[in-house]
Structure 1
């Protein structure tokens, strides 16, 4: 767990709320400043601990100073749509000699102004640009959508992969062929809240979170091996084959039943019905023949 810090967040926005949630999850102490008390109560009342709220106007330098803004380890400016208020807040923080300032920029123009005020590149965050980089990385590589991409450049990517491939459960990194190479390295393993620094003889367990640093050319293959992507596809294909076989068997049985019924119908129509009709006709002829013979016999007897 990271060392506990005191963090001030100025302005309630969607960006700020996301930062607050993550910091609270990491057991950090957060104080949120905003001039709108209703907004503070609406969005932050769900937090029972870990979040303090202070109602003030951050464009007022004296108000910031009285509330000890300089004492915080980090000050994050997350003011939303009001760019002018955000810039005034940053100027006040610089004047009050706050050492660690992080400011949200809406776009590149806003970033240039913040840079001109004295903030460095590392102190300015463009949320849309970060989100775009992550989405682009996930569209190029076989990385779980629930996994964060920590960093990426043209050659290397750092990310976290979950061990879901049963073929590597309870096997060592060496046995699974995941030992460090020039193309990738397993940096750490997160298991049930603990951090492990692995070596070749560390066993991989189900649902381990493996932090890797790898070339972009091998990350897909690495993700498949750890997450079991290839196996999942095979299982799906096997299930489809089994389903198709069952469906074909059903169709064959259905067709057979239909053919048998047709045969029975044909047999009845062409044989049974004809035989029955012929037998009826034949019986009539027999009776008629018998009657004729009897009549002829009677005539002969009368002549005698």
Structure 2
């Protein structure tokens, strides 16, 4: 998809979360209108985003002047000020923005945002905390959760399946995980097939439910 076919996005609040989202959207080819009440942040992002304005994203009149109603997607990156984030979501909802994403600091905050009009609620601190906890057990090398207990993880090949083709180790039947691919040192990533033989030192990319992946990673022959 070329840049000119990507729809513009409004980002309210250019703190760590909102600013990161805004910059990522620009890299992906979206036009981004960023808004923040802090003039230093406006100056910081002036060269990175399509347009940045010093404005109160909780004020519906202010949003109307910015043309917020013409956006099909908006991100509310305000997190620490719960009242401000709720007011921003409410204002966007009243303006009829059809796709509102909002950052929440906890579950209660998230429920309020949903009832106020947010279509998608994100818990960045919670997700990062979960990610760190998963990686600290040293069984997983990398971990991505999709929010519904499903995940994709990178892990060292468990000893019991080393030397066997995947069709023999039967990872899906025995452990309820799917081996997506294999990475060997000095070689390109390969997509796993039933005849793929797992070698010592292989790193696997697997998918499945979180608890199943962790159990699979723990089957090293102790």
TM-score range, shorter chain: 0.5 to 0.7
Q: Residues of 1 paired with 2:135 and 2:42: CA distance?
A: 35
2:99 maps to: 100
Secondary structure of residue in 2 paired with 1:102 = strand
1:57 maps to: 56
Secondary structure of residue in 1 paired with 2:35 = strand
What is the TM-score with the length of structure 1 in the denominator?
A: 0.52
Name whichever structure is richer in helix by fraction: 1
What is the TM-score with the length of structure 2 in the denominator?
A: 0.67
Q: Residues of 2 paired with 1:46 and 1:138: CA distance?
A: 36
1:112–1:150 CA distance, 2 compared to 1 (3 A): closer
* Comparing 10-19 and 104-113, the one that deviates more: 104-113
2:129 maps to: 132
Secondary structure of residue in 2 paired with 1:132 = helix
Deviation at 1:181, TM superposition (A): 1.6
1:33 maps to: 35
Deviation at 1:52, TM superposition (A): 2.2
Superimposed CA distance per residue, residues 126-163 of structure 1 (whole angstroms, 9 cap, x where no aligned partner): 3333333334444557212x43333464xxx5222156
Q: Which of residues 164, 172, 186 is equivalent to 1:180?
A: 172
**Is 1:7 the equivalent of 2:3?**
no
Q: Residues of 2 paired with 1:178 and 1:46: CA distance?
A: 53
Deviation at 1:107, TM superposition (A): 3.4
Q: Residues of 2 paired with 1:208 and 1:69: CA distance?
A: 46
Q: 2:102 touches 2:121 (CA, 8 Å); kept in 1?
A: yes
Superimposed CA distance per residue, residues 228-250 of structure 1 (whole angstroms, 9 cap, x where no aligned partner): xx69x9xxxxxxxxxxxxxxxxx
Q: Residues of 2 paired with 1:188 and 1:165: CA distance?
A: 15
Q: Residues of 1 paired with 2:121 and 2:74: CA distance?
A: 12
Q: Residues of 2 paired with 1:118 and 1:94: CA distance?
A: 5
Count of paired positions:
213
Deviation at 1:104, TM superposition (A): 1.6
Considering Cα pairs closer than 8 Å and 6+ residues apart, tell me whether 1 or 2 has the greater RCO: 2
Deviation at 1:63, TM superposition (A): 3.8
Superimposed CA distance per residue, residues 80-103 of structure 1 (whole angstroms, 9 cap, x where no aligned partner): 433333222112111111111111
Q: Which runs of 5+ in 1 are unaligned?
A: 234-304
Secondary structure of residue in 1 paired with 2:128 = helix
Structure of larger gyration radius: 1
Deviation at 1:194, TM superposition (A): 9.1
What is the correspondence of 1:43-82 to structure 2 with a 5 Å cutoff? Answer: 44=45, 47=48, 51-55=49-53, 56-82=55-81
Name whichever structure is richer in strand by fraction: 2
Superimposed CA distance per residue, residues 160-215 of structure 1 (whole angstroms, 9 cap, x where no aligned partner): 2156789989985336x25422632327449899995x542457799876241146
Q: CA RMSD in A?
A: 4.4
